[in-house]
């Protein structure tokens, strides 16, 4: 990886993936907390978690491209 010109991008993306995974877990937990209390809030947090998961997928795709 040292010879890869994208080494800094790869490192940053990997760090951000870890942070995004934590965010997704926290948002999912927040959604669960609203279960039975407010369906709208529960759905909103589920949607946020889905958006974060989509960004994780995008990061992983970029990493695959930068590795080559």
Structure confidence by residue, pLDDT tens digits, 25-55? 999 999 999 999 999 999 999 999 999 999 9
Alpha-carbon torsion (40, 45, 50, 52), positive or negative? positive
Task: Kindly state the percentage of the chain with pLDDT values over 90.
Answer: 94
pLDDT band at 3 (very low <50, low <70, confident <90, very high): confident
| Mean pLDDT value across residues 46-67 | 97
DSSP collapsed to 3 states, 18-52: HHHHHHHHHHHHHHHHHCCCCHHHHHHHHHHHHHH
Q: Is 15 exposed, middle or buried (0-12, 13-18, 19+ CB in 10 A)?
A: exposed
> Residue 55: helix, strand or coil by DSSP?
helix
State the pTM of this model: 0.89
């Amino acid at each position: 990886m040292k010879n890869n010109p994208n080494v800094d991008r790869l490192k940053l993306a990997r760090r951000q993936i870890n942070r995004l995974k934590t965010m997704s877990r926290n948002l999912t937990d927040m959604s669960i907390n609203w279960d039975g209390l407010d369906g709208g809030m529960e759905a909103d947090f589920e949607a946020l978690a889905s958006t974060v998961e989509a960004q994780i997928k995008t990061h992983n795709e970029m990493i695959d491209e930068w590795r080559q």
